[in-house]
Amino acid sequence: MTILAPDASRSELLELTAARGFAALMVVIFHIDAYAQGVVSSRVPLDVLGLLAVDFFFVLSGFVLAHVYEGPWRNGTYDHLRFLIRRFARIWPLHMAGLIAVAAIVFGGRAVGLTPPWSPTASSFAAHAAMLHATGITPELAWNQPSWSVGAEWTAYLTFPLYLMVSSRLRSPLAKLAAAAALFALCWAIAKLWLGRDLMTLMHDGGALRIVPSFFLGVVLREIFGVLTKRPGPLTLAGLFGLTLGAAGALLAFGAGGAALWPLVGALVLLLALRAVAPEPGLLRARPLTWFGEISYALYIVHAPVLMVTFGVAGKLLGLTSPLGLMMVGLAGLAAAVIAAAIAHYVIEKPARDRIIAWGDAARSVRRRPA
């Protein structure tokens, strides 16, 4: 693989876009398996893979945002309000649409005697609408349950300049990685001692803490990526991945379980990014895979309400409870979720994002116009 300096004007790394699609698919399969009484996880270690897919998203998010905004940050043109408007436009409209869809399903389900295993309260709905449902203020995982990670992402966006500031002040790649490891250890200790939980299992009850080390790892990996593309060297790359394996081994030795794979998640993001600036064409640049990555956020948001309907109708109303029957329902749900995601991406996500960004830019230009 030949590594070239990245084009500063190119904000998208196609391999990372395609990887988003695979991560979203893993989350969907994880939730299908939960509905299907462990049909898949009885053969594949899906629990660990499903959970790590979310942390892969967190690392990837930090990396991509640093890739786009590191330049403006360094030259002093970064505008945090503009950044927040764009991130809000990116995630909130579809998040809100998914929340409303689940509410409609829940209240419609009451007519046929179906009730969710959580309490549909107005306060938790409001917390979800405000994207504060990963801060621990909601008592249970409710409504569009996978969207807790959207709330976690929003808390990271609010403090994004802090991540950039800390990372930019750490000069060497080793110092950056050491800081990321120390932050992971600190957050792990807080989760254990304060919350009594494993950091990598926090969702509504502390997802805002869970995202911190992964998002920061993504930011520092983007800076390391810049070093590697400007001064490529097999020894440097080998050294970094040696440290990665060492960190994974240390976590495993300390009984961290699935969290021992956390350093490998970061290594995977870095490898994919390096592959993305190589001149040789690759499978992950195929248009179907990059398209799937483009609709990955929509898939992540819509799959839960789609599965609620498919398993609610087929499983509870039609009585399909055998492993084979549940698997067939799951496959139908997956196909329906992909179709719904494509529709949501083009009908809701993109138009709403563009409209909100246009409104925000117009409002800011009016405020700056001299009287």
In a domain? residue 37: yes
| Termini Cα distance of the chain | 56
In a domain? residue 31: yes
Structure tokens at 369: 């116009």
In a domain? residue 2: no
DSSP-based three-state secondary structure for 116: coil
Give the dihedral sign, CA 148/154/156/159. negative
Where helices occur in 191-311 by DSSP H, the ranges are 207-230, 234-253, 262-276, 287-294, 296-311
pLDDT at 3: 41
Do residues 220 and 64 touch, judged by C-beta distance below 8 A? no
pLDDT at 291: 97
CA 330 to chain centre: 22
In a domain? residue 274: yes
In a domain? residue 1: no
pLDDT at 353: 97
Find the domain containing 272 and state its range: 14-364
In a domain? residue 18: yes
pLDDT tens readout for residues 21-36: 999 999 999 999 888 8
pLDDT tens readout for residues 336-365: 999 999 999 999 999 999 999 999 988 877
pLDDT at 37: 82
Q: Report how many domains make up the chain.
A: 1
Task: Find the farthest-apart pair of alpha carbons in the chain and give their distance in angstroms, rounded.
Answer: 71
In a domain? residue 9: no
pLDDT tens readout for residues 147-180: 999 999 999 999 999 999 999 999 888 899 999 9
Do residues 275 and 1 touch, judged by C-beta distance below 8 A? yes
In a domain? residue 6: no
DSSP string, 99-168: HHHHHHHHHHHGGGT---SS---HHHHHHHHTT-TTTT-SSS--SSGGGHHHHHHHHHHHTHHHHHHHHH
Do residues 144 and 299 touch, judged by C-beta distance below 8 A? no
Select from 113, 220, 108 the least CA-distant residue to 172.
220
